[in-house]
Each structure stands twice: as structure tokens, then as C-alpha cells.
Amino acid sequence: MAGSRPAMTHEVAPGACIPPPWRLSHARPLQLRAHSMSEKKKKKPQKVKARLPRGFADRDAGDIRALDGMMARIREVYERYGFDPVETPMFEYTDTLGKFLPDTDRPNEGVFSVQDDDEQWMSLRYDLTAPLARYVAENYDALPKPYRSYRAGWVFRNEKPGPGRFRQFMQFDADTVGAPGVQADAEMCMMMADTMEALGIPRGQYVIRVNNRKVLDGVMEAIGVTDEAQKLAVLRAIDKLDKFGVEGVRKLLGEGRKDESGDFTKGAGLELERREKVVSTVGATSLSDLVFKFAEDRAEAALKWIVSLRNSNIERVQSNKINDFLKILENREYYGPISVTVHKDMKQIAVDTELDDARLLLKEVSGFVDLSTYQLLLVGSKIGEAGRAELNAISNMIESAGYADRIKIDPSVVRGLEYYTGMVYEAELLFPVTNEKGEEVVFGSVGGGGRYDGLVSRFRGEPVPATGFSIGVSRLMTALKNLGKISTDTPDGPVVVCVMDRDIDALAGYQQMVQRLRAAAKQEEDKVKRGEHGIPFRVEMFQGNPKQFGKQLQYADRRNSPLCIIQGSNEREQGIVQIKDMIEGKREAAAFESNAEYKAARPGQYEVPAESLVDEVKKRLAEQAADRDA
């Protein structure tokens, strides 16, 4: 045996203690066992950390029910206006969506994109308008024109998340495709106003602001911005007015703006003079301010235009002010140092003056009529004048329909997406809220839209007029919470039938109770649908481990259940059931000093004949409802 042992490969020092063979034979297995345990430790599955991606949010039952209720009211308004529902998928081919988001130079910039197995790029939709354009183009011949539709759904933005800024949010849109007239835009604005009121937002706490992209294009033309990329950068800068204020817009119009985190957004690159013209434009600066900034050399054109305004579709009070001013000019051939000639019918005007004198005259004009910077800039711009004419037309329609107190013309409204071609509008809530910095601010925009005559045309190669608006559902729900118009409190949970015994007969009896109660609940629901008074409720049989009765009551409490139904073998033999009023039980529990006293008293719990169960449950729920209303 000794000869069969392998020779030792190392020398042993003299006097060293050599372990006996039996110890050597066990040394290796012991080492191997230790190594094996270490391996097991290393290979133990690691738990995946449960974490929510940044910019996304979970929703609980209260939020979901509140959202459903809010959207039902919005849907009622859309249906009343004659719009039909339609649904498109969350994914579209990236070239279908187009490049309409900020900084969109590649498929995954601004949107979430994946490449299909055929190497085509697909993206999660960033709004509901571009997918609608694809749907209409694809089904154009089968659809009635105009095509009036609404749709709700989740949209996704691959942008930096922040407080109140999410990468996934819900929109609720309505659009009319195939209607070129301004009346379609006017209807959209009126429907936005009606939607705000249907949600309980009173007049005076919201306004629908309207502008026209053609007017803004005229302003770009007047200040010499011709490059399309720079135009878009200017428009997007203006669109941030509510968010960043005038100074923030100035920076975005210039070199750019750095946010609080240090991230830098490149600006439009306008030099100081043109930058100030844009800022003055969106601020609806008065004529006197305008003169001192950049319109000194256009005094005569401005005055001629003022005369033309007298006979145009402007508010009557403004027209009267213009008349008063022109009468002063007519009666004074020499107005200070300025020579002014006005034709007798006051339809023509000539100005012979130096620059400084023009300033004085135009400053005098501002005292009679409140005209905005952008209007004066439009003199001589065909596209700008076309936009102004459309604004005059929509203003008349809005006034005739009785919406003038809710829908206003506002030159600061831009809308940030590139595809708008005409009217743009925005729903703004006017009540104050406190922001994350502790500052009191106006709540701001909850939706908007406009005319996008070129979006469907991308697919068809022919003009297809379209207009529509989108409500930011999540933001609007936040506003309604602030106004107390919507609640996300946990609603009443189900009536819980407790499981006291687990034999087949007992389980069958519990299920029969549940079915009797659900049949009664259905009758209550039908009453409500018929417009009658009813108390709908929900019912379930406890499906967890029934060993500990206390756990069942704990479950019912966490579910906010109004009642628990209890029947053990003793109650079954006597033909009775115990009803535990969970709401009353909580009230009475405050009077007990110890848990033992509470259990002995069983507050809120009483017995009724088994055949009276349904009537007693309905009665008790009605009493609870009356208490809540009181």
C-alpha cells in the first residue's frame, strides 16, 4: 500500500511533524468542502433592485379612477361637438413621425427608438397628431371629409426629466382634417373653453390664448431672420416665455441658456438689436416703446396702417380711439414740428417729418390706441398681413358666439412644434400656485394646438388642411386637484365576506352570499344608469390564508372596506350572520383604552337573520353614504 502512494514533491525539513496518512487522506476533502461552500456563496442569485426609471410614474387606484372620471367629462364635450373616437398604436415608423421635436438630428434624439429586424427605425410616439396624420393619409379615400376625431393615449419624450416633467404622459386630442376655414380653428378654441368649464374650472380662472404662425413668420421677415433652422430656434425660444421669463427668452434668442443643473441649451444666435425686437414683439409692447426701439424709420407707414385699422375688424372701442386721434390730426395742419395731411374721408394720411418728430407723433398715438409691436412690424409683410386678417376673422367669430371673455388674441403664443402653419392656441389656467422654489406663480398651460396644413400633405403630396388641440391630461389633473375639483382619495373598497371555515359546504355557502350581494349591487348600478337613486357597491370573498381571522379584518381595513360579513359554524346553525361596520368600528374604537377591551366589545358589529343580509347591507351602506354627504 505504501508503495502505491505517490511520491511527495516537496522536501520535509528535519524534525518536522509529518501528519499520519489518515489525516492526509482527509485534508483534501475538507479543503474541497470549504471551497465548495465559497463557490455556492458566489453563485447565490443576486436580488434585482426594484426601482422606477427616471421620468416615469406609477399610478394607484385613486389616480386611475380620478383620471377616468375626468376623461369621461372631456369625452362628453368632444362627442357633443360631433367628434368620433379613433386609436393608433404607440409605435410608428420614425420617418412617419418626422423631425418635429427639439434637437432632432437622429432617431433617438427626443424620442425613444428601436430598430426592427428589417433595419427600419420605429419610435414611440411623442404626440398624437403625427400618428393621426399617418392614419388619415393611409385611409384617406375611406374617411369622410372633414374628418373629425378624438383620441387619448400615452406619449413619450426622450428628454431630461425633472420636477413635474415626465418622459411618459397622457394626452387627449381632438382634430378636424379637411377644413381650411378659420371657423374650424374658432370651433377648436370654443371647444377648449367648454372643456375647461365641463371640468369645473370657472370663467376668470382660465383663458384660451390665440395667435397665428403667419404673423410670427411676418415678424421673422421684418427682423431679417430667413434661415429656417434659426426661425425654428427663435420660435422655440419664444415658446419658453412662461417657463423661463423674459430674461430666459433673451438668453435663448442669443448665445444660449444654462439651467440650474449646469446643462447648456444653445440659443438662436440673434444679435442684440434683433433679439430686443423679438422680446418686444412677444411682450405686446406699446407703440411708444416700439418707436424708441426699432420703428423710428417707419412712421409714415405706421400712421397709414393706423388709418386702415379704423375700418377693419378691430374692437369698437379701439376704432373710436383711432377716430379721435385722426380728428385731432385733421384739425391741426401743423402738429408741433410735424406736417401732417389727412384726406377729408380720413382714409389717407401723409407725414412729412424728421425722425425725432416721428417719435413724438407715434408716442401721441399710443395714448389713443393700444397697438402692439408685432402689428406695426407687419406693415409690408404679405404673410404677416394674411395672419393678421385671420386673427381679425377669428376674433369676430368668437365675439359673435359669446366667447370673447374667454378667448383672447395674444402675440406671445407660439407653440414649440415645427409643424404648425397658421392659428396656434393655448389653454392657460390663471389661478396661483406655489412652485418648487416656494414662489407664487400662475399655474399656466394645460393644453394647446393649432393648424398644421402640411402634416398630412407629407404623405399625399397635395394640400390637406387640418387643425386640432391636445390636452395635457396629467398636468390638467394636477390643476383640478389644486382647485378641489377632483379627488384621488381611496374610494370605498368592497364588502368583504370573511372565510371562517374551510370545508366544502362552508365555502359554497360563502360563495352563495357573495353572489346574492353582487346581484343586489348590479341592481343598484342599473338604478344609477336609469337616473334613479342607487348605492352601487362591490363584493368579494376573502381569498387569502383564512387561519387568522384578525388578518382578514386587517385586509378589509387596508382595502377601505365599508362592511365585513362574518358567519362561522355557530352562526350558520342559528341562521344568522354577523355584520361588522368597519367605519363605525373605527369611530367606536377610540373609546377603548386596551386591545383586550376592544376585542371583547367588538365595536360596530351586530347580527341579523341570514335571509335579511342583502337588505341590511344596502341599508347600512345608504346610512354611511348619508353620513359622508352630511
Closest by CA position to 264, among listed 273, 281, 250, 252: 252
Closest by CA position to 431, among listed 210, 211, 203: 203
Q: What is the distance between the alpha carbons of residues 353 and 450, in angstroms, rounded to a whole number?
A: 42
Which pLDDT does position 591 carry in this prediction? 61
Q: pTM here?
A: 0.70
Alpha helices (H) along 549-612:
549-558, 569-574, 582-589, 595-601
Closest by CA position to 218, among listed 347, 391, 369: 391
Q: 343 or 182: which carries more pLDDT confidence?
A: 182
- Asked if pLDDT for residue 352 goes beyond 60, the answer is no
| Cβ-based neighbours of 557, under 8 Å, separated by 6 or more | 582
Which pLDDT does position 287 carry in this prediction? 35
- Asked if pLDDT for residue 283 goes beyond 60, the answer is no
pLDDT digits (tens, 9 = 90+) for 576-618: 999 999 988 877 766 666 565 555 555 689 999 999 999 999 9
Q: Over range 141-170, report the average pLDDT.
A: 90
Cell of 559: 382595502
Q: Over range 104-121, report the average pLDDT.
A: 74
pLDDT cut 70: percent of the chain above it: 71
DSSP bridge partners of 174: 150, 469
Cell of 277: 425686437
Per-residue b or e along 220-246, where b marks 16 or more CB atoms closer than 10 Å to that residue's CB: bbbbebeeeeebbbbbbbbbbbeebee
- Asked if pLDDT for residue 481 goes beyond 60, the answer is yes
* Tally of helices (H runs) and strands (E runs) in the chain: 23, 21
The residue assigned the cell 399655474 is: 443
Q: How many CB atoms lie within 10 A of CB 337?
A: 11
Q: 311 or 250: which carries more pLDDT confidence?
A: 250
Domains of the chain, each with CATH number or no CATH: 65-285+372-483 (3.30.930.10), 495-629 (3.40.50.800)
Q: Over range 507-511, report the average pLDDT.
A: 95
